């Protein structure tokens, strides 16, 4: 059996479905394996399992949404084959018969299946999925209710030659999922010392994601201040947009010149020892 090496595009969709709305999405599947694959499609629901993007898949789908494939030659859950290098397009159809205002979190899976019963249990079968984040109801605009929690500035001893890491969580106390939209600004002597854009994680209601920033290459990385950091008092503000009112989380910290101070004290100590030794050597016997 060929090892699974598939690409599935798009990797995630986010939609709002009003009552009786119908939505279709074309998924492009490519078999990058060296052999033919036997595949099938399915839908699974999930909930967040941690603040790092992990999910827990559920055994049942608690949703009024109706899922099917618009392909004339294939139904949802029906097996199909894909030869090496072959591409296929599956059109997922979603119908919302409900008037309920709610979020649903699901994944459209393409799973590998064994060709024969003899292969069952002799090879780990893999699957690839695309997340579906769906909001249902009449409202087309979603207002966030983000807030900062568990803010921490490490290390505890803040020295001018020690990089500082600013960590914490962004919690969503609203009713719908949304993306983090904000920035971290550090001030010194009422002047902007550093500005960093927060990574736009999607946060599910009543859950949180880690506070992270974006570098110049749009890559996620911990929020931090590079060395050297001048001694003194610093003030910071985490600003979050998208709430009904602008949210600001102020904080402050001190940076002390521990390293230069210790170095100067060490030099004075060595100098005092040398001076004391010289005085002892020249004292009369």
Residue 1 resides in a domain: no
Q: How far is CA 98 from the centre of its chain?
A: 30
pLDDT at 277 over 90: no
* 237 in the same domain as 159: yes
* 154 in the same domain as 113: no
Most confident range, picked from 95-109, 149-163, 269-283? 95-109
Radius of gyration of the chain, Cα coordinates, nearest whole angstrom: 29
Strand 66-69's sheet: what is its strand order? 6-9, 22-31, 87-95, 66-69
Angle value at C-alpha 205, between 172 and 168, nearest 5 degrees = 35
Return the H-helix or E-strand segment holding 132.
Answer: strand 127-136
Tell me how far apart the alpha carbons of residues 57 and 102 are, in angstroms, rounded to a whole number.
19
Give the CA diameter of the chain: 111
* 131 in the same domain as 19: yes
Domain end marker among 75, 107, 136: 136
Q: Which of 220, 103, 203, 104 is nearest to 149 (CA)?
A: 203
Q: What is the pLDDT of residue 64?
A: 94
pLDDT tens-digit series, residues 169-215: 999 998 889 999 999 999 999 999 999 999 999 999 999 999 999 99
Q: Does residue 118 sit in helix, strand or coil?
A: helix
Q: How far is CA 258 from the centre of its chain?
A: 35
* 216 in the same domain as 159: yes
Residue 281 resides in a domain: no
Q: Does residue 250 sit in helix, strand or coil?
A: strand
Residue 263 resides in a domain: no
* 161 in the same domain as 49: no
Q: Could you tell me what percent of the chain has a pLDDT over 90?
A: 65
Residue 60 resides in a domain: yes
* 94 in the same domain as 33: yes
pLDDT at 118 over 70: no
11 contacts 130 by C-beta, under 8 angstroms: yes
Q: What is the pLDDT of residue 126?
A: 86
How many domains does one find in the chain?
A: 2
pLDDT tens-digit series, residues 157-177: 888 888 899 999 999 998 889
* 106 in the same domain as 25: yes
* 173 in the same domain as 57: no
* 188 in the same domain as 126: no
Q: Which of 87, 103, 93 is nearest to 33 (CA)?
A: 87
Which residues constitute the domain of residue 245?
A: 146-257
CATH code assigned at 187: 2.60.40.10
Residue 193 resides in a domain: yes
Domain end marker among 103, 136, 169: 136
User: What's the whole-number mean pLDDT along residues 39-61?
Assistant: 93
Residue 32 resides in a domain: yes
Q: Distance of CA 264 to CAs 95, 163, 270, Å?
A: 73, 21, 10
Tell me how far apart the alpha carbons of residues 186 and 193 are, in angstroms, rounded to a whole number.
5
* 58 in the same domain as 21: yes
Q: Distance of CA 237 to CAs 37, 145, 183, 184, 224, Å?
A: 52, 17, 8, 6, 14
Tell me how far apart the alpha carbons of residues 184 and 167 are, in angstroms, rounded to a whole number.
11
Q: Distance of CA 86 to CAs 16, 30, 32, 120, 135, Å?
A: 32, 6, 8, 24, 34
* 79 in the same domain as 151: no
Q: What is the pTM of this model?
A: 0.82
Q: What is the pLDDT of residue 123?
A: 56
């Amino acid at each position: 059996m060929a090892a699974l090496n598939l690409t599935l595009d798009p990797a995630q969709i986010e939609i709002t479905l009003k009552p009786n709305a119908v939505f279709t999405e074309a998924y492009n599947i490519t078999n990058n394996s060296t052999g033919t694959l036997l595949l099938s499609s399915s839908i699974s629901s999930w909930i967040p399992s941690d603040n790092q993007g992990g999910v827990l898949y559920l055994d049942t789908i608690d949703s009024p949404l109706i899922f099917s494939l618009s392909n004339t030659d294939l139904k949802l859950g029906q097996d199909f084959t894909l030869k090496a290098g072959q591409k296929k397009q599956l059109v997922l159809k979603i119908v919302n018969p409900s008037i309920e205002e709610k979020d649903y979190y699901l994944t459209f899976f393409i799973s590998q299946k064994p060709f024969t019963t003899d292969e069952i249990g002799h090879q780990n079968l893999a699957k690839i999925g695309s997340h579906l984040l769906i909001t249902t109801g009449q409202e087309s605009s979603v207002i966030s209710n983000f807030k900062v929690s568990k803010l921490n500035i490490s290390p505890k001893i803040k020295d001018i030659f020690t990089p500082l890491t600013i960590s914490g969580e962004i919690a969503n106390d609203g009713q719908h999922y949304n993306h983090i939209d904000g920035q971290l600004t550090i001030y010194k002597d009422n002047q902007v010392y550093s500005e960093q854009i927060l990574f736009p994680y999607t946060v599910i209601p009543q859950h949180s994601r880690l506070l992270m920033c974006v570098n110049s290459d749009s890559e996620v990385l911990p929020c931090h201040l590079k060395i050297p950091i001048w001694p003194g008092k610093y003030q910071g503000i985490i600003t979050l947009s998208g709430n009904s009112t602008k949210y600001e989380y102020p904080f402050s910290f001190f940076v002390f010149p521990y390293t230069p101070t210790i170095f100067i004290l060490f030099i004075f100590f060595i100098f005092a020892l040398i001076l004391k030794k010289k005085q002892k050597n020249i004292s009369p016997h």
